[in-house]
Amino acid sequence: MAASEPAPLAHDGDAEAPVNEAEVASGPAGLGSRLTAYVLDSVFLFAFTMLFATASFLNIFLRSDSGRDNASDGTIWLSVYMLLLTVPAWFLFNLALTSRRGHTVGQYVMGLRLASADDAPLTAKRLATYWLALHPLLFHPILAGFWLLFAWVAISISENDLALILGLALAVLCVLAPLASLAFALFDRQHRGVHDRLAGVRVNNVD
């Protein structure tokens, strides 16, 4: 396959994000490279969630006289809300990273880069679709626990059945989305997952 330059990244307007001109695409990424990148990103995701878990624990620890007193209900709920911020923070972090750099942390390590399937610039809107369309890093088994926590908060505070069902459904999707993406990638010629197809994005090797 003839080498071609990766499509430049752009935001919703015409302005394009910085691109490393030295990087040249050398064809679609193999399934092994993509799976390895996913594993590396999963390790990074675990570390990311630990930051919020640590902040949540410290909030209770420091507001309970170093654990000598019982934490107030307000302190406990604040810690719960801090934990619930993990998922939107993870989404915004990766959206910003892929908008600016064109890859996730794991993809960077494996020498992979995102490109649009039609060779058009990757806009922020397309990348948002890429992440929200059942991306296995945003709908990850590690994040299922946070959606279960959301469901518990919904039923505990507001007794909102709709929010409860939504939280439970998203938790189930966190288990099913990676499996669905793997199944699609196994049979796709360019090893694209569900999220790649829906967003019109492919993952290339770069030199």
Domain ranges of the chain: 29-206
Write down the pLDDT at residue 113. 94
Task: Indicate the residue type of 152.
Answer: W
Torsion angles phi and psi, residue 114, rounded to 5: -75, 145
Instruction: Using the Cα atoms of residue 48, residue 175, residue 184 and residue 32 in order, give the sign of their dihedral.
Output: positive
How many other C-beta atoms are found inside a 10 Å radius of the C-beta of residue 73?
8
Write down the pLDDT at residue 117. 86
Write down the pLDDT at residue 24. 56
> Do residues 8 and 16 lie in contact, with contact meaning Cβ atoms separated by under 8 Å?
yes
Token duo for residue 128:
């948002």
Instruction: Using the Cα atoms of residue 66, residue 71, residue 74 and residue 75 in order, give the sign of their dihedral.
Output: positive
Torsion angles phi and psi, residue 115, rounded to 5: -150, 150
Q: What is the pTM of this model?
A: 0.82
Write down the pLDDT at residue 131. 96
- 156 to 86, 105, 162, 164: CA distances (angstroms): 20, 36, 13, 10
Give the whole-angstrom CA distance, residue 12 versus residue 16: 9
- 193 to 31, 63, 103, 187, 190: CA distances (angstroms): 10, 45, 15, 9, 9
Task: Indicate the residue type of 186.
Answer: L
Which residues face 112 on adjacent strands? 205
Q: Which residues of the chain have pLDDT under 70?
A: 1-26, 65-71, 73, 158, 207
